């Protein structure tokens, strides 16, 4: 099978949006033994789109995933371009028009004619329903190539590609046995170095990495006839990644901590300075986190640290807010105030300002406190504000995870 | 000028790496009045690369930025492909070979023959030095198109493109007049409907949208000779978007609120239930937010709402946590506790569980409280947990913004 991608949208070429769809599509297709050999990204230009589709079919492509240009606005012209290619007119799919109408009115919004335009597709095309959004997709065959056109919005793209492309391939039996391990606390080069021996010891196993900042995901794949090698390589990975391995399911980082807290019957209270609420937000991204999360306090100011986390002002004056002594008091304070089994705190300098020679930007102190003991950790992060925030929030949750599993 | 991108590398098509270079390239080119009209992503295949370069030149492209395939490994074949295209042989640039040798040995590594291969380039090509890495780039002209080939590593790519492409264009002078307006509270179709008249009233102005959930960005562009039209269309946009327009700078949503709070000399305290810290986290993404942000409390449990936000238990029992009465008490409580000028609170059911017939998933109450008065708002959101969280956090900050500007 020869697979290409045709990504459509001015926003992909003018610096507004990075095309991450191809990344996830490649991963999903890889799991069913297929790979993308070319991606073409073009603007919302009717003539260019149909010309490009013709060229793609002319290269003996079997499947082309087309994304974008199916929305309600006048610059969405993918349906028109494919109608041009097939030399047919557009026709409205009445069922989809009804679905769109229901969706819009159920949201209490007014139905506008441009909304209904999304139900238009090239005559004879197969309609692909969209359960996550308004714009349906379509599927046509031209010059021996199957074109599957779906919206570019990632969650819609993923769901529709899964239904129209990946699931049928999987059912046809092309799934490669595969292991996915998620790690935190090592950079890609470190993971690579630790796992290098796999290549020589189990050559039938393919190792892949994906940096999903700040997580590193490791995938292992092998043919049906090398399952033993795959299992052995997986065991090796688990040993090498050690405490850095946090999940072997598809769940996100915080979900593994919520599961662990539930399992232990523990509750958590969080005090944050430099992460500004992000640690609590990551935790509460997990449905069911309310069972283990007692309280979060975002204490930017010293006044707030004194008043609501019971950090004494002498400590703040003598050690500074970003210090081991203060972060420990913050963790104790929020644990006491929140009535939680475990208290965790973070205090640091996310940047770009606020650094000093002694405590440069990226200096972060973490503390965890429970009946099992207290632990602190200092980080020196090299990133910019957003990444410093993210990695500090992860590290705070990770400190709790490690405190619980030791 | 007609600009294309040719991105080379298996890793861009197999799910390992997202091409973010185009994003930054487009932004840099946009600032000097140029835009990318097509990007082609291909594997490390010598024949495919030279064929594609021929096709690019055949489309009357003026400039093609080529990225990737310049490294030391055997699958890096960009130089070979362009030598094929130009029907010349490869020649080693002795100065670059010396630079590579110095760089490798200064890092204490052993110099291998494949490292020196990076100094090979198509005969007659101009060499582009690389100050951030080992592999130099090159520049050739074929079929009237200037091909600038640089490594795909982002920091090397950025520095070399700045030096070889962007800086010369900047010096030659050429910025495209452009307006960027950011809105919140309308969906894309609603924005489109309101701005539809622009197309007929000012046809020289090009309108673009970008959904950056939950923001909608509107961009207006026009040629140098249609500045009056651009100004008129901008005025029309501002009127039509009204209170939904929150920023006309490049700053994110929360930055406009931080700026507004600073301007008014007000401080903010935030109480969150269903948004779980996200509102505070969005605010603290903004550098300098510490000047206006007093305190955040994430109060998931009723116990925490009573104890730390001074919501009385009778109110919680009679109205429930997700109610106008309770969210108002939360806003008052956090304002008082935080000693802030403005208090904002959110309480809702993010889902997927926790909904009832009377209060289904997506029911969210918001309140803002200050000396200027009190205001509440009820939302009924149709999304899943993550999006309900995000839109509620935005709506909370937006309630503060509107409270301040009225």
ipTM comes to 0.73
CATH of the domain at B233: 3.30.70.2860
Instruction: Verify that A148 and A220 share a domain, yes or no.
Output: no
Task: Using the predicted structure, report yes or no on whether residue B174 has a pLDDT greater than 60.
Answer: no
Neighbours of B148 (CB within 10 A): 19
CATH of the domain at A105: 3.40.980.10
User: Partners of B196 in the beta sheet?
Assistant: none
Mean pLDDT of the B127-154 span: 93
Q: Answer whether A67's CB lies under 8 Å from A21's CB.
A: yes
CATH of the domain at A366: 3.90.950.20
Determine the distance in angstroms separating the CA of B192 from the nearest CA of chain A, rounded to an integer.
6
CB contact under 8 A, A208 and B16: yes
- In tens, the pLDDT along A198-224 reads 989 999 988 877 777 788 888 888 877
Residue that terminates a domain, selected from A204, A221, A247? A247
Catalogue the E-assigned strands of B9-62.
Answer: 36-42
Residue that terminates a domain, selected from B215, B247, B279? B247
Instruction: Verify that B197 and B279 share a domain, yes or no.
Output: no
Q: Residue A112: what pLDDT?
A: 83
* B298 closest CB neighbour out of A13, A280, A308: A280
Instruction: Verify that B153 and B191 share a domain, yes or no.
Output: no
Report if pTM > 0.80: no
Q: What is the DSSP letter of B166?
A: I
Mean pLDDT of the B48-66 span: 95
Please report residues of B whose CB lies closer than 8 A to that of A35: 13-14
Terminal Cα-to-Cα distance of chain A (whole angstroms): 49
Instruction: Verify that B382 and B396 share a domain, yes or no.
Output: yes
Task: Using the predicted structure, report yes or no on whether residue B32 has a pLDDT greater than 60.
Answer: yes
Instruction: Verify that A274 and A296 share a domain, yes or no.
Output: yes
- In tens, the pLDDT along B221-267 reads 887 788 899 999 999 999 999 999 987 765 688 999 999 999 999 99
> Which candidate, A178, A186, A184, places its Cα nearest to that of A208?
A178
Instruction: Verify that B135 and B185 share a domain, yes or no.
Output: no
Q: Residue B249: what pLDDT?
A: 66
- In tens, the pLDDT along A140-156 reads 999 999 999 999 999 99
Domain count, chain B: 3
For residue B227, the enclosing domain spans: 178-247
Instruction: Verify that B29 and B50 share a domain, yes or no.
Output: yes
Distances (CA, A) of B400 to B140, B328, B345, B347, B406: 55, 13, 10, 15, 10
Determine the distance in angstroms separating the CA of B201 from the nearest CA of chain A, rounded to an integer.
15
Class of residue A302 by CB neighbours under 10 A (exposed 0-12, middle 13-18, buried 19+) = middle
* B30 closest CB neighbour out of A15, A26, A73: A15
Q: Residue A250: what pLDDT?
A: 53
CB contact under 8 A, B42 and A42: no
Left (φ > 0), alpha (ψ -120 to 50) or beta: where does B366 sit? beta
Q: Residue A314: what pLDDT?
A: 94
Is B254 in a helix, a strand, or coil?
helix
Residue that terminates a domain, selected from B199, B222, B247? B247
Task: Using the predicted structure, report yes or no on whether residue B14 has a pLDDT greater than 60.
Answer: yes
Instruction: Verify that B142 and B291 share a domain, yes or no.
Output: no
Q: What is the DSSP letter of B200?
A: H
Task: Using the predicted structure, report yes or no on whether residue A125 has a pLDDT greater than 60.
Answer: yes
Instruction: Verify that B190 and B163 share a domain, yes or no.
Output: no
Instruction: Verify that A317 and A243 share a domain, yes or no.
Output: no
Determine the distance in angstroms separating the CA of B93 from the nearest CA of chain A, rounded to an integer.
30
In this complex, is the C-beta atom of B183 within 8 Å of any C-beta atom belonging to chain A? Answer: no
In this complex, is the C-beta atom of B276 within 8 Å of any C-beta atom belonging to chain A? Answer: yes
Determine the distance in angstroms separating the CA of A268 from the nearest CA of chain B, rounded to an integer.
11
Instruction: Verify that A386 and A300 share a domain, yes or no.
Output: yes
Mean pLDDT of the B114-124 span: 91
Instruction: Verify that B359 and B264 share a domain, yes or no.
Output: yes
A370-379 contact pairs (CB < 8 A, 24+): A370/A266, A370/A335, A370/A341, A370/A342, A370/A343, A370/A403, A371/A341, A372/A403, A373/A403, A374/A328, A374/A331, A374/A332, A375/A399, A375/A403, A376/A324, A376/A327, A376/A328, A378/A324, A379/A348
What does the alpha-carbon distance between residue B258 and residue B238 come to, in Å, rounded to a whole number? 21
Class of residue B171 by CB neighbours under 10 A (exposed 0-12, middle 13-18, buried 19+) = exposed
Question: For A57, how many CA atoms within 13 A lie in the half-sphere containing its CB?
Answer: 19
- In tens, the pLDDT along B310-348 reads 999 999 999 999 999 999 999 999 999 999 999 999 999
In this complex, is the C-beta atom of B398 within 8 Å of any C-beta atom belonging to chain A? Answer: no
In this complex, is the C-beta atom of A300 within 8 Å of any C-beta atom belonging to chain B? Answer: yes
Which of residues B130 and A174 earns the better pLDDT score? B130
């Amino acid at each position: 099978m020869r697979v290409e991608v045709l990504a459509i949208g001015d926003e992909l070429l003018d610096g507004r949006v990075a095309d991450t769809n191809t990344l996830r599509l490649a991963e999903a297709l890889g799991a069913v033994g297929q790979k993308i050999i070319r991606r073409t990204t073009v603007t919302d230009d009717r003539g260019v789109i149909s010309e490009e589709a013709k060229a793609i079919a002319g290269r003996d492509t079997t499947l082309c995933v087309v994304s974008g240009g199916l929305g309600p606005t006048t610059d969405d012209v993918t349906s028109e371009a494919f109608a041009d290619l097939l030399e047919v007119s557009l026709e409205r799919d009445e069922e989809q028009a009804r679905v769109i109408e229901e969706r819009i009115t159920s949201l209490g919004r007014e139905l506008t004619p441009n909304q209904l335009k999304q139900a238009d597709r090239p005559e004879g095309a197969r309609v692909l329903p969209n359960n996550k959004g308004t714009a349906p997709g379509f599927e046509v065959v031209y010059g021996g190539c199957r074109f599957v056109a779906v919206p570019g919005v990632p969650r819609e793209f993923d769901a529709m590609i899964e239904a129209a492309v990946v699931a049928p391939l999987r059912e046809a039996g092309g799934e490669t046995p595969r292991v996915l391990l998620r790690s935190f606390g090592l950079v890609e080069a470190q993971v690579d170095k630790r796992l290098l021996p796999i290549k020589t010891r189990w050559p039938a196993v393919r190792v892949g990495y994906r940096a999903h900042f700040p997580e590193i995901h490791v995938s292992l794949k092998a043919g049906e006839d090398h399952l033993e090698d795959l299992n052995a390589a997986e065991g090796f990975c688990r040993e090498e990644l050690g405490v850095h391995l946090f999940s072997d399911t598809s769940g996100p980082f915080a979900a593994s901590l919520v599961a662990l807290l539930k399992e232990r019957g523990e509750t958590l209270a969080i005090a944050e300075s430099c992460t500004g609420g992000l640690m609590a937000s990551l935790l509460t991204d997990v449905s069911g986190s309310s069972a283990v999360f007692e309280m979060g306090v975002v204490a930017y100011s010293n006044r707030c640290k004194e008043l609501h986390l019971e950090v004494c002002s002498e400590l703040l004056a003598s050690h500074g807010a970003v210090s081991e002594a203060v972060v420990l008091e913050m963790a104790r304070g929020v644990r006491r105030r929140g009535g939680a089994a475990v208290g965790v705190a973070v205090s640091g300098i996310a940047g770009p300002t606020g650094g000093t020679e002694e405590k440069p930007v990226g200096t972060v102190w973490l503390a965890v406190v429970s009946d099992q003991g207290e632990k602190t950790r200092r980080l020196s992060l090299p990133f910019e504000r957003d990444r410093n925030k993210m990695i500090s929030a992860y590290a705070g949750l990770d400190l709790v995870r490690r405190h619980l599993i030791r």
